[in-house]
Structure 1
Amino acid sequence: MTRSRRVFDTEELFINAIAERTAALSAHYCHQRGYFTVVLSGGDLISWLRKLLQPPYIDSIEWSKWHIFWVDERVVPWDHPDSNYKLAMDGFLSQVPIPTGNIYPIDQYCAAVGDAKGAAFLYEKCIKRLVDRNIIRSYKSSGFPQFDLQLLGMGPDGHMASLFPGHPHINFKSNLVTYITDSPKPPPKRITFTLPVINCSSYNLMAIRGMEQADAVARVFNDDLDLPTARLKADTEVIWYLDADAASKLSDYDEE
């Protein structure tokens, strides 16, 4: 499997590159389709989107055409500190004019009562409805949703979304969204896109910084398929954005 990577010597170059790629894809899909479907993850990603809140992006992006989803979510109330929805709202979404109706969080009631199974069922139902409306494209003949851009992260153990090494959910292929109640990383209850959905995206951008990620990055680029991130694909392109620390155990890399 061929993986494209870019390595950045400074955080500024790293976050500028994420902003440039996201804005370029937004312009492309807004012009082509009238929509731009973006899948977010948690962790540090939201803080790395801060350049989009500044000129020239804040005033040039067609925010009203964005539709926002989450690759995974913790089954906790919307206002809980562990909520990816809260993280994204506080750090990014509340500062851009994306219509509220274009933001698709986990079901509020299921989140409040900790109903992971119900939350997964309703999130899948929401996605299927948007595919039927052609807001989300359908991937060729498979019928899986095809998001325009997924902005992903990786844990030091090589997990992505809430697909963890050695966990059976990495092999699920029939559902769009599944749930877990025994996550090895707290909180235990989560919903997550399945691997086929993640891999049907037009663009997957994996953003990683920090020395604690270096071992997993090296294993991925050595095709260690025990790691969920080593199975990451995309319909058009997978790009890994790394800082020098995260790339430090690769056999070679070029800094920008």
Structure 2
Amino acid sequence: MEKKDPEVRMFNCTEQLSTALAEYVIENSDAAVKERGAFSVVLSGGNLIHLLRKLTKPPYVRMVDWSKWHVFWAEENIVPKKHPDSFYRQAKEAFLSKVPIKSANIFSVTLGVSAEKAMEDYEFSIRQVVRNRTVEASLSSDCPRFDLILLVLGEDGHVASLYPDHPLLNEESQWVACVASEGKESVTLTLPVINSAANVGIMATGSDVAKSVSMALGNPLPSGSMPAQMVSPRDGNLVWFVDGMAASLLPGHNEGEGSATSDS
């Protein structure tokens, strides 16, 4: 299948981006619920939960069939259960506790155990929901086909916990892996899983990621040097959400434009 170019939506500020993101998530949720009766969404760390805040407020909070949501994580820091760096804790406090998602439908990474044990438990949980068809299986791989995976671009071009030039970028069989970076351990979904999703959104905000945005959306780079450029759903769609500061180094960038399509 021919590789599709990503769609790049540019916004003057994060407020506009947040509104568009809420509408994008609702659109994907509605489509999945209509087609299959369930919606699987994968969250990340960074400022994603802050960007999703509109979904917890009117009118958006009333536009979602929350009972059909099944929530997963693209990454999680291996920290104590109540540690502020836990992405599950951040999501629970700012998002999940404010919307009526069933607790049984939230599939977080186990904390308070070793990274290896957390990885194994999380992959087992995902395999169970694929087996019972809560999450579809990809037709082109043995991976889960999540309805929507939301990622955040890091300053070095990483997404989830997939870092530049890391051996994990070449992983082909595991769904979940452990990563040690800068003295921290985390659990992450692998590229085969991310690229099996029906829809992937990458958030890029702030001037710190401007260089990585221009590189990721530019000409192909040596494999592994820019993990975000390796996100390319084989049978799905990729949309970048980029605010004005993050887009500042893109060719022909004009602040305030609502959307554009990348030629990359």
If the length of structure 2 is used for normalisation, what is the TM-score? 0.91
Mapped pair 1:191 → 2:191? no
| Mapped contact 2:137–2:144 kept (Cα < 8 A) | yes
- Once the two structures are superposed, the pairs formed by residues 175-254 of structure 1 within 5 Å of their partners are 175-180=174-179, 182-184=180-182, 188-222=184-218, 223-224=220-221, 225=223, 226-234=225-233, 235-253=235-253
Cα displacement (A) at 1:10: 2.2
1:82 match = 85
Cα displacement (A) at 1:253: 3.5
- Once the two structures are superposed, the pairs formed by residues 124-135 of structure 1 within 5 Å of their partners are 124-135=123-134
- Quote the Cα distance in structure 1 between the aligned partners of 2:203 and 2:116: 29
Question: SS where residue 25 of structure 1 aligns?
Answer: helix
- Quote the Cα distance in structure 2 between the aligned partners of 1:144 and 1:252: 38
Identify which of 1, 5, 10 aligns with 2:8. 5
Give the aligned residue type for 2:129: L
1:149 match = 148
CA RMSD of aligned residues (A): 1.2
1:53 match = 56
- Quote the Cα distance in structure 2 between the aligned partners of 1:176 and 1:236: 18
Aligned length: 249
- Quote the Cα distance in structure 1 between the aligned partners of 2:236 and 2:174: 22
1:106 match = 109
Question: SS where residue 135 of structure 1 aligns?
Answer: coil
Question: SS where residue 179 of structure 1 aligns?
Answer: strand
Question: SS where residue 149 of structure 2 aligns?
Answer: strand
- Quote the Cα distance in structure 2 between the aligned partners of 1:79 and 1:252: 45
| Mapped contact 1:8–1:243 kept (Cα < 8 A) | yes
- Quote the Cα distance in structure 2 between the aligned partners of 1:10 and 1:179: 34
Cα displacement (A) at 1:60: 2.1
- Quote the Cα distance in structure 2 between the aligned partners of 1:35 and 1:3: 25
Segments of structure 2 that go 5 or more residues without pairing to the other structure are 259-264
- Quote the Cα distance in structure 1 between the aligned partners of 2:65 and 2:80: 30
Identity in percent: 39
- Quote the Cα distance in structure 1 between the aligned partners of 2:242 and 2:85: 25
* Per-residue CA distance 1:148-183 (angstroms, 9 max, x = gap): 001110110001111100111111111000112x21
- Quote the Cα distance in structure 1 between the aligned partners of 2:14 and 2:187: 30
- Quote the Cα distance in structure 2 between the aligned partners of 1:27 and 1:174: 31
- Quote the Cα distance in structure 2 between the aligned partners of 1:246 and 1:240: 11
* Per-residue CA distance 1:212-251 (angstroms, 9 max, x = gap): 1001111111222411101111222101010111011111
Give the aligned residue type for 1:133: N
**Structure 1 runs, 4 residues or longer, greater than 2 Å off:** none
- Quote the Cα distance in structure 2 between the aligned partners of 1:119 and 1:53: 29
Give the aligned residue type for 2:159: M
Mapped pair 1:136 → 2:140? no
* Per-residue CA distance 1:171-217 (angstroms, 9 max, x = gap): 1111000112x213x5x111101100011111100011100100111
- Quote the Cα distance in structure 1 between the aligned partners of 2:37 and 2:45: 26
- Quote the Cα distance in structure 2 between the aligned partners of 1:32 and 1:215: 39
If the length of structure 1 is used for normalisation, what is the TM-score? 0.94
Give the aligned residue type for 1:246: A
Cα displacement (A) at 1:54: 1.4
- Quote the Cα distance in structure 2 between the aligned partners of 1:252 and 1:143: 40
- Quote the Cα distance in structure 1 between the aligned partners of 2:213 and 2:140: 32
- Quote the Cα distance in structure 2 between the aligned partners of 1:12 and 1:127: 33
* Per-residue CA distance 1:7-65 (angstroms, 9 max, x = gap): 10122211110000101111111111110000000111101111111122211210010
Cα displacement (A) at 1:5: 0.3
